[in-house]
Amino acid sequence: MALRQSFRTFANKLLWLVLIWISASFLFGLIRIWGVESLPAFERIIPFNPFQFIIQMLVLGIAVGIPFGIMDRVLDNNWIKRKPYWQIILFNVIIQVMLAVFSLGVLVVLSKSVFNTSINLFEAIFSETSLLWIVYTGIVSSFIYFLEVVKTKIGNRVLVNLILGKYHYPTVEHRIFMFLDMKDSTTHAETLGHIKFSTLIQDSLNDLTEAIIEHKVEVYKYVGDEAILTWELEDGFENANCLQVYYSFQEILNKKKVYYEQQYGFVPFFKAGVHLGDVTVSEVGIIKREIAYHSDVLNTAARIQGKCNEFQAKLLISDDLKTKLENYQHFNFQRIGGISLKGKQQLVNIYQVSQK
Domain residue ranges of the chain, discontinuous segments joined by +: 2-154, 171-355
Tell me the chain's radius of gyration from C-alpha atoms. Answer: 26
Q: By 3-state DSSP, what share of the chain in percent is helix, strand and coil, each rounded to 5? A: 60, 20, 20
Q: What is the pLDDT of residue 55?
A: 83
217 touches 281 (CB < 8 A):
no
Q: What is the pLDDT of residue 290?
A: 80
* Residues 167-214: tens digit of each pLDDT: 888 899 999 999 999 999 999 999 999 999 999 999 999 999 889 988
Distance CA 99, CA 215 (A): 33
227 touches 185 (CB < 8 A):
no
CATH of domain 171-355: 3.30.70.1230
Q: How distant is the alpha carbon of residue 9 from its chain centre?
A: 9
Please state the pTM of the whole predicted model.
0.75
Q: What is the pLDDT of residue 38?
A: 55
3-state secondary structure of 33: coil
Q: How distant is the alpha carbon of residue 329 from its chain centre?
A: 30
273 touches 352 (CB < 8 A):
no
What are the start-end ranges of the E strands in the chain? 171-182, 218-223, 226-232, 270-284, 290-294, 315-318, 331-339, 348-355
Q: What is the pLDDT of residue 44?
A: 42
226 touches 336 (CB < 8 A):
no
Q: What is the pLDDT of residue 35?
A: 58
Q: What is the pLDDT of residue 201?
A: 96
* Residues 52-109: tens digit of each pLDDT: 778 878 888 888 888 888 877 776 665 666 677 677 777 777 887 787 788 777 777 7
* Residues of the chain where predicted confidence (pLDDT) is lower than 50: 39, 41-46
For the chain, report the end-to-end CA distance as a whole number of angstroms: 18
Q: What is the pLDDT of residue 255?
A: 93
